[in-house]
Structure 1
Amino acid sequence: MVGLGGAGKTQLAAHYARTVWQSGALDVLVWATAATTAAVITSYAAAAAELLGSPAPTESEQAAAAFLAWLEPKAGQRSCRWLVVLDDVTDPDHLSGLWPPASPTGCTLVTTRSREPALTTGRRLIPVGVFTPAESLSYLNAVLASHHLAEPDDDAAALAHDLGHLPLALAQAVAYIAELADVGMNCAQYRQLLSSRTTPLGDTAPDRRPDGQPEAVAATWALSIERADALRPAGLARPMLQLAAFLDANGIPETILSSTPARTYLAQYRTTHANTPSAADVPTPPAGSADDPGAADHQNVRPVPERYAHMSLSALRRLSLIDYTPKTQGTAVRVHQLVQRAVHDTLAAPQRYAVARAAADALLATWPDIERDTALAQSLRANTTALAICAEDVIYQPHAHAVLYRAGRSLGKAGQVTAARDYFRRLTATTTHRLGSDHLDTLTARHGFARWRGQTGDAAGAGATFAELLVDMVRVLGPDHPQTLDTRHHLAYSWGQSGDAAGAATAFAELLEDRVRVLGPDHPHTLGTRSNLARWRGEAGDAAGAATAFAELLEDRVRVLGPDHPHTLTSRNSLARWRGEAGDAAGAATAFAELLEDRVRVLGPDHPHTFNTRANLAYAWGQMGDSVRAAMAFVKLLEDTVRVLGPDHPSTLITRETLAEWWGEAGDAAGAATALAALVHDMVRVLGPDHPRTLTSRKSHSRWRRQADSGQTDDRPTRVGWKALMIFLLSLA
């Protein structure tokens, strides 16, 4: 079904799907929002989990493939009657490899605004235009009757004509009339309001407007917005809709719109009566703000109560301006793109600036430090992308907003290191174009690109990028600027990751001299450089020297930062590790056990640093000869890592690899080989075939496969059901 946004394609698809389902003509019904590839995969994966049960893969792409394979008709099996609805397809490439199979008992229904041949060729095309006059009249009469209202057909038909028979505009108009019917509002009065407030529609629709469509539709939104703005709490519905208009139409977490920055923005419009601020009342960006010019004008404004934000969303829902489902965490608020465009077109330049920066501030304030909820993190990234697209003219002025960098780091922290690298490459191009190649924001974006390039396994390429960046940092900022020194830090680290531990140690020793000179001996960055110097000396072969250096660093960090500071705890972790590397496995295990108690107390049980200490403690047990205890500890750690970070996070993959190694050490070479074979498949998919971790896993798999094939076994008794452990591990894969 192809047609203009707002023509009712989704409603038609929903009506059809509901009708055939309730008639008993279907065994399986799947509805997928298809605006992006990721959204389709997520919907398919959810279907796989429900249809396939425990055999369903937990990784989304594998689960989606399993679902499509399940839909294939199979000889000798009872045919399944299914319907898959792909709603709001924006690009045929998003469905590459994801089209449901042809089936005599299955049907795929697509809604889209695109008429690209790649999408429509070979498929039955159903154009969905605006209502006919008869359909418009029937719709208006039916909805009015549901509110126990009636209008002369001539008046209703004239209103439909004024609105160009656009279903979405008609829905807005009839909601407004029903809302004010008790004070005499009817179709004739609504037409008078439209005629006195008509605003050119312009480009509010995402596609071309049908010939002859009137320019009164934007006035429809304006009337509904004004009415919503008059509802309690007065004056807040309009600015709330403005914020939503700059975010993702397909879903906005309610936490964004109820955050402190959002409520601070709303507070500027709070009124005690139905009056709403005019464009002249909207605060303009302060002149000469050095940091965030969108924040300085809010410093003395007290945010409205959180319940007011929820009430304003409810007011917008009452007038059909948004869909609002509070219990849906990641997509509680949805706004049609036509409404968003209509709102954009009413904003003067100072208003656009204020709304966009407030939305960016709200996004940044909502972002959790630790992204345990992967669906929320994905939604925050999607909303950042939507904001950057519709407000690129202001989101980079006078500097790139910090949320743009936060979104890129979120990709990397979610384990999508290749996507993070590509994100910062694009961000570098945009900041270069808008701010210039020597702007600090551009240099920061280049730094992000280099960092995540290294995380993809290209340590040498990252080192080369950091080396080029360092030249420009020195030229633009000077040799002693903190970001210049930070670039030297990452360049040295890249050398170490490339295999030149001695070169990294030398570079950190030189950097340490400059850190002490510029920042002083007790500055956190100076202490951080000492930590890396000790680490790479250890990696270069001097484990005892590394342990001594970390012992000295620990004393200074306790003195400067305190015993519970995260950096102090990190030094304790490093000291224990290098004591173990120097041969004192028992001492390392004791130190890790003591540290684990403090990390749980200070950081919590699900913090990544806590996980790291648990891994080190388990490794120390293995080094002491208790491989079974080490393996069992990694089983529990893997379960928690998957729960908190997700199955594809690099830390999860590394935990699986280490578990398999200790599994083999505990006497089951074949089980270790099987687990590593599954791991290599996921490493290739997530990190790529040439990533160092992928290559390491391949070598481990080959080693344990050879040992299993040679019949070598470990005669030590085991205290774990290895078959059960293998089943558990493969279920995570």
Structure 2
Amino acid sequence: MKLPSFGQPPGKGGPPTTEGPSQPAVDADRGSIAAGRDILNSVALYVENGTILPQEAYGPVADVQAPAGLCNAPATKLFVGRAEALTLLDAALAKPGEVVVQAVHGLGGIGKSSLASHWVRRHHTGNPRWWITADSREAIDTGLADLTRSLQPALAVMPPAFLVERALQWLTAHADWLIVLDNVERPADIASLLDRVGTGRFLITTRRATGWHHTAASVRLDVLARNEALDLFVRVLTDGAARDTAGAAEVCAELGDLPLAVELAAAYCAETGTSPRAYLAMLAHRPAATLAAGTEDGDPDRTIARAWRITLDTLATTPLAVDILRILAWYAPDHIPRTLLTPLAEAPELPTAIGRLTAHSMITDHHDGTLSVHRLVQTLARTPDPTDAHRQPEAIDRARDRAAELLADAFPSNVDDPANWATCRALLPHTDTLTSQHAPEHDTIHTALALNRAANYRREQGALAPAIEVFLRALSTFERMSGEDHPYTFGVRNNLAGAYKSAGNLERAIPMYEQTLADRERVLGGDHINTLTSRNNLAGAYKSAGNLERAIPMYEQTLADSKRLLGDDHPKTLTSLNNLAHAYEAGGDLERAVPMYEQALANRKRLMGDDHPHTLTSLNNLAHAYEAGGDLERAMPMYEHTLANFELALGDNHPNTLISRNNLAHAYTSVGHLGRAIALYERTLADCERALSPGHPIIDVVRTNLEEARSARRSRSRPS
């Protein structure tokens, strides 16, 4: 009969049982044996066939002692760091008593095997310390058979099944041992082994992040700390020789501090004489080829691409999982909102696909609803390779376009609503990363939509320089793909003009506003709501340029049209009312401006509430008009109320908050409270310089006001 291996499922046969402590007896005349507790059926078969068994096959397995210091764990010459993980293993595997099982999981190339080998050789005193490659049941059986051969070399002639069973019995009969099961692919492969053996220690390394709750306590291994990755790179690069290490930290950062990648890159630089900075340039221009480049004596299977292709082959049975990985490759590596993926599939298909990626350590699913992907996984997943079934150029292009579409759908259209700012902040890094990884000519309509909304949010927050750059790219895409007369093109051109106006560049803003208004009147008609917006914006640009003769009639027409088409209470009507009042105030006509401000404020309070940003804007403007009319007694509390509520609603660094704080400081100056004014100006200037784009007009206004307040205080302190 054939002995089953330990790994067979229950009910399919199993190892022979033992009964009692009887000792085997040998009849020398007849050559027969009396089977004792540890004598297996396969032994009897060999006797019947005339095979002479070694004496070691008959003795009780409990009496077999491991040779002193028996250890086959590989050496770890290049091990660095990992103090916390080593401490965790010390604590977990030091517990006495019943069997202890500890799993270390993580991405391929993260250093799980290196950690296990280092700990086994330096931190564990049990005997034996036995290393088994455990990526299949067959490999596990081979490792167990090899253990028996090392424990009892005379049994090496026995069949593999006998050797496996002998190893299992030995492990069951002893306690002070450690077995490392390296690179376990499936928890089920080792379940029977763990169920069979009730003593000793098992240390498991695996890419599987899940599925261990019934089997083992688990530790997630992350990338090296930057200083540890740098230490590893420099040790491999120099290897006792003097070499240029400038740029080594940048290489480690670009490789995401992944131990295998850092080691291979350093070995390549050492062998080829490539400096770290030159390697960095190679990585930027040809990432896939650079990561695949090996050394003369390197193992061709020990590469990043090879390590992950095996996992992707396993995931190929869930095509959506591989599609998701290709999409995630276009975003920033961390804090990817899981909700971005919602349109891809319904439950249970979507969570199942994400779960498979998580289970195989290709992504990390965080409790805050975000996902993370190692940056090298992303690099390979978005780099075409016709020889790799998972990286076909067409599939990667589709993933890039789908990533843009998901961003465009997720980005709020109303970016001036503070309720949407958290979403905008969460999506902004992913929009930036997506568009930094491919040329503008590959932008789609969805790319441009996402860019336009990201730029609108940036302009709203005062980041004018990056907003203008992004608006320009979006406009170029809309013009190329939608044409000069498409509403999308009009919209982004209007937004770009607004960014130029906010930056004080009226020479560019006014012609753009004029072109957009003319185009909208021609294509959409004079009464379209977007045409009214263009007319309002152009009037505002004229007012900023000091051309009130053109601005005021345009504002008046816009207000009349808005009332006729939208009604007195529409938000755009109230905006027109506020803007016309501002133009009258700029022209010194406070008699007309103040009632308009008061009406706009009353309507916004009624419709939006006291603390809505638009209501606060009206309150600020009315306070400014009162101050201009010399009524600081009414203006001051309005300014203070506006500032306090802007800080609550918009934050300390929003442009509206900074303007409000500047206005309150100006009012303090007007009533002679120079100490309070200067302190407020200084705080405002520091916030402006930190939060706004360099050259933002608000910065110059605040700086000028601060110098005037300081000058006034110096003049006051001089003796007459």
Hey, what does 1:245 align to over in structure 2?
329
For 1:388 and 1:269, the matched residues in 2 are separated by 32
Amino acid at match of 2:489: T
Alpha-carbon displacement from aligned partner over 1:680-717 (angstroms, at most 9, x marks no partner): xxxxxxxxxxxxxxxxxxxxxxxxxxxxxxxxx43269
State yes or no: 1:109 paired with 2:188: no
1:341 to 368, 383, 390: 383
**Superposed displacement of residue 533, structure 1:** 0.3
Residue 255 of structure 1 is matched in structure 2 by 335
1:675 aligns with none
Q: Indicate the percent of aligned positions where both proteins have the same amino acid.
A: 27
Shift of the alpha carbon at 1:459?
Answer: 1.3
Residue 131 (structure 1) aligned to one of 291, 294, 303:
294
Q: Do residues 631 (structure 1) and 678 (structure 2) align?
A: yes
Matched, 1:361 2:409: yes
Deviations 1:6-25 (A, max 9, x none): 9xxx9999854355799898
Structure 1 position 382 matched with structure 2 position 432: yes
Partner residue, 1:529: 576
The 5 Å alignment of 1:481-560 reads: 481-560=528-607
Aligned residue type for 1:536 = A
Q: Any idea what SS the aligned residue of 1:636 has? A: helix
> Per-residue displacement from partner, 1:20-47 (whole Å, max 9, x unpaired)?
7998989997656599xxx99xxxxxxx
1:573 Cα offset (Å): 0.9
- With over 3 angstroms needed to count, the CA separation of the structure-2 counterparts of 1:613 and 1:27, relative to structure 1, is farther
**Are 1:622 and 2:706 matched, yes or no?**
no
Distance apart, 1:480 and its partner CA: 0.7
Match of 1:660 in 2: 707
Work out whether residues 364 and 402 of structure 1, in 8 Å CA contact, stay in contact via their aligned partners in 2.
no
Query: What is the CA-CA distance between 1:418 and the residue it aligns to?
Result: 4.5
Contact 2:245 2:276 in 1 (8 A): no
Distance in structure 2 (CA, Å) of the matches to 1:108 and 1:481: 59
Distance 1:572 1:379 in 2: 35
Q: Is the 8 A contact 1:467 1:491 kept in 2?
A: yes
* Deviation string, structure 1 residues 463-522 (Cα, Å, up to 9, x no partner): 222112211111111111111111101110110111113431221012111111111121
Contact 1:421–1:453, Cα closer than 8 Å, also in 2: yes
Q: Which one of 234, 245, 249 corresponds to residue 17 of structure 1?
A: 234
TM-score using structure 1 length: 0.53
Alignment of 1:457-472 (within 5 A): 457-472=504-519
Deviation at 1:386? 4.2
Q: Where do residues 109-188 of structure 1 align in structure 2 (5 Å cutoff)?
A: 109-112=277-280, 130-131=293-294, 134-136=297-299, 140=301, 167-172=303-308
Q: For each residue in 1:254-275, what CA deviation from the matched residue of structure 2 results, as whole angstroms up to 9, or x when unmatched?
A: 333x34232443x43744xxxx
Tell me the residue number matched to 1:276: none
8 Å contact kept, 2:358–2:365: yes
CA contact (8 A) 1:509 1:533 kept: yes
Q: Does 1:268 align with 2:346?
A: yes
Contact 2:626 2:635 survives alignment (8 Å): yes
Which residue does 1:568 correspond to in 2?
Answer: 615
- Taking structure 1 as reference, are residues 496 and 377 closer, same or farther at Cα in structure 2, changes over 3 Å only? farther
CA drift of 1:632 comes to 0.9
From the superposition, tell whether residues 664 and 315 of structure 1 become closer, same or farther in structure 2 (CA, over 3 Å).
Answer: farther
Asked if the contact 1:372/1:644 (under 8 Å) is kept, the reply is no
In structure 2, the partner of 1:680 is none
One-letter identity of the residue aligned with 1:224: T
- What does the per-residue CA deviation read over 1:433-452, in whole Å, with 9 as the maximum and x for residues that have no partner? 21111111111122123222
Partners of 1:330 and 1:566 in 2: CA distance:
33
Q: Partners in 2 of 1:645 and 1:500 — Cα distance?
A: 27
Cα offset for 1:561? 2.9
Q: How does 1:182-221 map to 2 (within 5 A)?
A: 221=309
Shift in alpha-carbon separation, 1:313–1:543, aligned structure 2, 3 A: farther
Cα contact 1:21–1:29 (8 A) shared by 2: no
Cα-to-partner distance string for 1:292-341 (whole Å, 9 max, x where unaligned): xxxxxxxxxxx859xx95x666445x35xx799999x9986413433213
Which of residues 628, 641, 645 in structure 2 aligns to 1:581?
A: 628
**Distance in structure 2 (CA, Å) of the matches to 1:413 and 1:227:** 46
Q: Is the 8 A contact 1:259 1:366 kept in 2?
A: no
Consecutive unaligned residues in structure 2, runs of 5 or more: 1-108, 110-225, 255-264, 267-274, 385-390
Which residue of the partner structure matches residue 480 of structure 2?
433
Relative to structure 1, the CA distance from residue 365 to residue 459 in structure 2 (aligned partners, 3 Å threshold; closer, same or farther) is: closer
Q: Select 1:715's aligned residue among 700, 707, 717.
A: 717
- 1:428 Cα offset (Å): 2.3
* Alignment partner of 1:224 is 2:300: no
Q: For structure 1, which segment, 588-597 or 341-350, has the greater mean C-alpha deviation from structure 2 after superposition?
A: 341-350
Match of 1:454 in 2: 501
Cα distance in 1, alignment partners of residues 689 and 492 from structure 2 = 30
Which is greater in Rg?
A: 2
User: Structure 1's 359 and 625: CA in aligned 2 closer, same or farther, altered over 3 A?
Assistant: closer
| Number of residue-to-residue matches in the alignment | 467
> Which amino acid letter does the alignment assign opposite residue 171 of structure 1?
A
Cα distance in 1, alignment partners of residues 555 and 590 from structure 2:
17
Does the residue aligned with 2:639 lie in a helix, a strand or coil?
helix
| Cα 1:418–1:368 shift into 2, 3 Å | closer
**1:609 equivalenced with 2:656 (yes/no):** yes
In structure 2, what is the Cα distance between the partners aligned to 1:538 and 1:403?
A: 38
* Cα distance in 2, alignment partners of residues 417 and 503 from structure 1: 27
Q: Deviation string for 1:563-591 (max 9, x for gaps)?
A: 33322221111100110011122321122
Q: Indicate how the Cα distance of structure 1 residues 592 and 411 shifts in structure 2: closer, same or farther if over 3 A, else same.
A: closer
Does 11-20 or 585-594 show the bigger shift? 11-20
Change (3 A) 1:377 1:17: farther
Shift of 1:551: 1.5
1:458 shift after superposition: 2.6
Partner of 1:596: 643
What is the letter of the counterpart of residue 347 of structure 1? A
In 2, Cα distance between the equivalents of 1:349 and 1:242? 9
What is the distance in 2 between the residues matched to 1:368 and 1:560? 17
Asked if the contact 1:621–1:630 (Cα under 8 Å) also holds between the matched residues in 2, the reply is yes
Structure 1: distance between partners of 2:437 and 2:416: 19
Distance (Å, rounded) in 1 between the aligned partners of 2:479 and 2:456? 19
What CA RMSD, in Å, does the superposition of the two structures yield over aligned residues?
5.0
Q: Identify if the C-alpha distance between structure 1 residues 28 and 588 changes in structure 2 by more than 3 Å, giving closer, same or farther.
A: farther
Superposed displacement of residue 603, structure 1: 4.7
Amino acid at match of 1:500: N
The corresponding residue for 1:152 is none
Q: Which amino acid aligns with 1:523?
A: H
Deviations 1:228-266 (A, max 9, x none): 577xxx87642430321333xxxx15333x34232443x
Contact 1:421 1:449 in 2 (8 A): yes
